[in-house]
Amino acid sequence: MARLRRSFFNRPTVTVARQLLGCYLVRRMGNRVIRVRIIETEAYVGPKDKASHASRGSTPRTQVMFGKAGCLYIYLVYGMYYCLNVVTEREGYPAAVLIRSSVKLGPSSFFVPYGTKNEQNGFEISGPGRVCRALKIDKRLHGEDSVVSRQLWFEKGKLSQNEKIMTGKRIGIPYAGRWQHKRWRFYIKKPSDRTIHWV
């Protein structure tokens, strides 16, 4: 599988957020490799986006958002859960994509995008906190460069023909004023049929 390069992330954040759908997130810890397929993302775009942690300028926590595209921005929310973001756009312009949900592939190598918890076929990991828990992601990976990392990186993936991209408002940001209404959440539409798709 082809690793996503810096040029993939060094583009408009909304574009990256859309194109990450169907791509893979790969976590390696020693011998063990966990691969999941990304099915939901959110875009946090620029210094004016009141929903973004970077809207108050660069701080020790947020400075990686101002850095190189492809680096990981990881933070703790509500005292107990980590959230994984990947930095986008040019250096100096703070932006990132939050990875909200994924599907872990089963040993059978095909997957059901939504709705199953069957380990044989793969199961959904929905919610940014759960994604990080499932992939054992914590602050130690904050600032890691996914373009060259041996611990966590992204690989190219596709949407199947009957998968469509849906948009919606971002979750959990009622304080963000007019920015809360931006439809910068992206997810793969639940197929109306129950067909199983090949990867």
Summarize as ranges the residues that interact with DNA (CB under 7 A).
42, 44, 51-54, 56, 59-62, 65, 73, 75-81, 83, 85, 96, 98, 127-131, 170-173, 175
- Give the shortest CB-110-to-DNA separation in angstroms: 25
Residue 30 or 79 having the CB closest to DNA: 79
Smallest separation, CB 171 to DNA (Å): 5
The smaller minimum CB distance to DNA, of residues 56 and 90, is found at 56
Residue closer to DNA, measured from CB, 8 or 44: 44
Three-state secondary structure of 160-180: CCCCCEEEECCCCCCCCHHHH
Cα distances from 29 to residues 7, 86, 99, 123, 187, in angstroms, run 26, 19, 20, 21, 28
Min dist. Cβ of residue 27 to DNA (A): 16
Closest CB 108 distance from DNA, rounded Å:
25
Q: Which two tokens stand for residue 156?
A: 């190219």
Nearest-approach distance from CB 109 to DNA, in angstroms: 26
Give me the least distance between CB of 173 and DNA, in Å please: 5
First-to-final CA distance of the chain? 12
H-helix or E-strand containing 129? helix 128-134
Q: Which is nearer to DNA, 166 or 176 (CB)?
A: 176
Distance CA 4, CA 1 (A): 9
Instruction: Please name which of 121, 58, 120 lies closest in space to residue 95, comparing C-alpha atoms.
Output: 58
Q: At 140, give phi and psi (nearest 5°).
A: -60, -20
Q: Give the whole-angstrom CA distance, residue 44 versus residue 66.
A: 12
Q: Which is nearer to DNA, 31 or 80 (CB)?
A: 80
Please check whether residue 154 is in contact with residue 3, taking contact to mean a CB–CB distance below 8 angstroms.
yes
Of the two residues 169 and 197, which places its CB atom closer to DNA in the complex?
169
